[in-house]
Amino acid sequence: MKKVFISGCYDILHGGHIQFFKEARSLGDHLTVSFASDRVLWEHKKRRTSIPQDHKLALMSSLDIVDQVVIGDCDELGLDFKNHFLKIRPDILAVTEDDQYGDVKRALCAEVGAEYIVLPKTPPQFTPVSTSSIVRNIRTPVYAPLRVDFGGGWLDVPRFAREGAYIVNCAISPLVSLNNWHYERRSGLGGSGAWALLNGNDGVESELNLGVGWQDPAIIRETGLCVWRSGEKPVLHFKRNGDFLRGHMALHYTDIPHDTPANVGNAREYDRIEAAGRLAKEAVFEASISKLGQAVCQSYEAQLAEGMAPLPDAEGSVGRKYCGGGWGGYALYLFHTPEDRDTFVASAICNRPVEPYITIR
């Protein structure tokens, strides 16, 4: 009888594992599968198991293609199965092409005269997945917020970052999903950051690769009303739930295309932008609508100086500005009272209310 041995974490058993089991089993007459114990997984991978080891043992033992299941608990890196291997003395140790511990496994095989066989990659019978991708999909939310910004925009772009400066923004509801997107697309509300999050990705790197800033994916992932430190990567200075903004925010859609990457290189008044971010930070700390309105007005003045078209006036407004990089898309309006906000929303179909959004972490 030719005995085959395989090992792995198998933290979440999926179709790709089953295909590997079948291919390994075809090399001999008896298949032993070893999986890392909960303790080894924690020590070597620095994570808790997704499925308790007694459940994994029951699942694998129920497979017809598996003849024996053992739990690897040896401390040697890459050889958690060593004690079982030396006891069973299999004829073959089968591994995949991406095996990271080939040298120590070949040496172990030499001790018992086993053959070390690397199984070539074959066309998958299943859509390729990994344990990490499954965990990421489980953690991926179904809905995500978009965002509005008050001051300091562009100082999240690494080449424009200023030490001691701040970016202030807020996650908003209504939320969006991959199937329900109740806002205009490409409109300055951080939609690319929300889209990345909903697809299980971290949008910070992708935004930086586009040459723009990290504020969109950072606030959409963090939620709440946040003050960030300007710099290469997002560093949260402080946040609050934003309740003092409830009933005071509205959006106006300009019906002009929004394109941040195309406007990154524009000349703009960074001193005024930095001052607006600092004032917005103070306003958030004090929960002051009027001071936040002043910061928004400063941001808007910088946008007008950059060459953006004036936005419509609104009675009762304490401040208005284009969202994000501006040059179209949505504009944010802040109001003294909820009644002023609701009157503005009712005045045109292109106006809509939004509220601060925060998740409990």
pLDDT digits (tens, 9 = 90+) for 301-357: 999 999 999 999 999 999 999 999 889 999 999 999 999 999 999 999 999 999 999
Number of domains in the chain: 2
Q: How many helices (H) and strands (E) does the chain have?
A: 12, 13
**Shared-domain flag, residues 304 and 185:** yes
CATH code: domain of residue 129: 3.40.50.620
Q: In which band, very low, low, confident or very high, does the pLDDT at 134 lie, cut at 50, 70 and 90?
A: low
Does residue 234 have a pLDDT over 90?
Answer: yes
Does residue 132 have a pLDDT over 80?
Answer: no
**Shared-domain flag, residues 107 and 157:** no
**Shared-domain flag, residues 10 and 122:** yes
Does residue 127 have a pLDDT over 80?
Answer: no
Structure tokens at 353: 């209310």
**Shared-domain flag, residues 108 and 155:** no
User: Rounded to whole angstroms, how far apart are CA atoms 267 and 184?
Assistant: 27
Does residue 263 have a pLDDT over 90?
Answer: no
What torsion do the CA atoms of 83, 84, 88, 90 make, to the nearest 10 degrees? -100
- Segment 54-102, tens digit of pLDDT: 999 999 999 999 999 999 999 898 999 999 999 999 999 999 988 889 9
- 162 located within any domain: yes
Q: Answer with the one of 137, 163, 198 that is the final residue of a domain.
A: 137
**Shared-domain flag, residues 192 and 334:** yes
Q: Answer with the one of 137, 163, 187 that is the final residue of a domain.
A: 137
Does residue 130 have a pLDDT over 70?
Answer: no
Q: pTM (2 decimals)? A: 0.70
**Shared-domain flag, residues 27 and 149:** no
Range of the domain at 252: 140-356
**Shared-domain flag, residues 75 and 196:** no
CB 156 within 8 A of CB 230: yes
**Shared-domain flag, residues 270 and 343:** yes
270-286 vs 289-306: helix axis angle to the nearest 10?
170
Q: How would DSSP label each residue in 188-244? A: SS-HHHHHHHHTT--HHHHHHHTTS-SHHHHHHHH-SEEEEE-SSS-EEEEEE--GG
pLDDT of residue 261: 80
User: Rounded to whole angstroms, how far apart are CA atoms 141 and 306?
Assistant: 37
User: Rounded to whole angstroms, how far apart are CA atoms 91 and 186?
Assistant: 59
pLDDT of residue 190: 92
Q: How far apart are the first and last CA of the chain?
A: 55
Does residue 13 have a pLDDT over 90?
Answer: no
Of residues 292, 287, 296, 293, the one with CA closest to residue 243: 287
pLDDT of residue 126: 65
pLDDT of residue 131: 64
3 state SS of 83:
helix
Most confident of 11-20, 140-149, 170-179: 170-179
**Shared-domain flag, residues 211 and 229:** yes
**Shared-domain flag, residues 213 and 68:** no
pLDDT of residue 199: 86
User: Rounded to whole angstroms, how far apart are CA atoms 301 and 338?
Assistant: 25
299-305 contacts at long range (C-beta below 8 A, 24 or more positions apart)? 299/149, 299/150, 299/151, 299/153, 299/273, 301/272, 302/268, 302/269, 302/272, 302/273, 302/276, 305/268, 305/269, 305/272
Q: Answer with the one of 137, 157, 188 that is the final residue of a domain.
A: 137
